[in-house]
Amino acid sequence: MNLDAFWLLFIQDHLRNGLLTPLMVVVTMLGNKGIIWMVLIALLLWRRRTRWVGALAAVSFLVNAGLAELFIKHAVMRPRPFLSIPELQTLVAQPLTYSFPSVHTVSSFSVAFIVWRSSLRKWCRPVMALACLMAFSRLYVGVHYPSSDVAAGLLLAWVGSSFVWRLGRRAVRLACSSCSK
């Protein structure tokens, strides 16, 4: 048994329970189509003080999730873990798309890393906690591999959000300097 199978079956056999399962199913469903992250971005955009963070989070979300869903998944074409681990039982409808990378993880951390970098004190911890919970929920419900799908999603989100942060901050500085002239 490989390490991915070991961890997925460990989660299934030792962590799944009647209290945690409904929560994990709801969390993973909130990540479908990036719904929870779009709501968070809208809240950030709505407030004048956080609008710039919302704009960067929106760009990070769209670029990174789009890259993962439209290009990487179709280039790699990795089957879902429930197709290769017969003992693994899913807790949600079995997705029809490929496994690598976890777009839920990419979406979550694309937004969370922008919020974290912004240092919005009351937003950082809850948003990062929700992103971690979202990534874990994908393992909990049995639809992603931990060491590749989720880890690669985290890495892609880190790199992509870093790129968006640097370019976006530069653009904001340029826009602000031209406004003061």
Q: Tell me the per-residue pLDDT of 4-26, one tens digit each, with 9 for 90 and over.
A: 999 999 999 999 999 999 999 99
* CATH topology classification for 47-175: Vanadium-containing Chloroperoxidase; domain 1 (1.20.144)
Show the tokens assigned to 45.
């955009």
Predicted confidence at residue 171, as pLDDT, reads: 77
Beta carbons within 10 angstroms of residue 30's beta carbon: 19
Nearest to 156 by CA among 115, 98, 79, 103: 103
What is the C-alpha to C-alpha distance for residues 146 and 11, in angstroms, rounded to an integer?
A: 11
Structure-model confidence comparison of residues 97 and 178, the more confident one? 97
Indicate the pTM of the whole model: 0.90
The structural domains of the chain, with segments of one domain joined by +, span 47-175
Q: 154 exposed, middle or buried (CB, 10 Å; 0-12, 13-18, 19+)?
A: buried
The residues, ordered by sequence, that sit 6+ positions from 3 with a Cβ below 8 Å of its Cβ are: 147
Show the tokens assigned to 92.
């949600």
- Express each pLDDT in 31-49 by its tens digit: 998 999 999 999 999 988 8
The residues, ordered by sequence, that sit 6+ positions from 32 with a Cβ below 8 Å of its Cβ are: 104
What is the rounded average pLDDT for all residues in the chain?
Answer: 92
Sign of CA dihedral 135, 94, 159, 177: negative
Split at pLDDT 50, 70, 90, the class of 173 is low
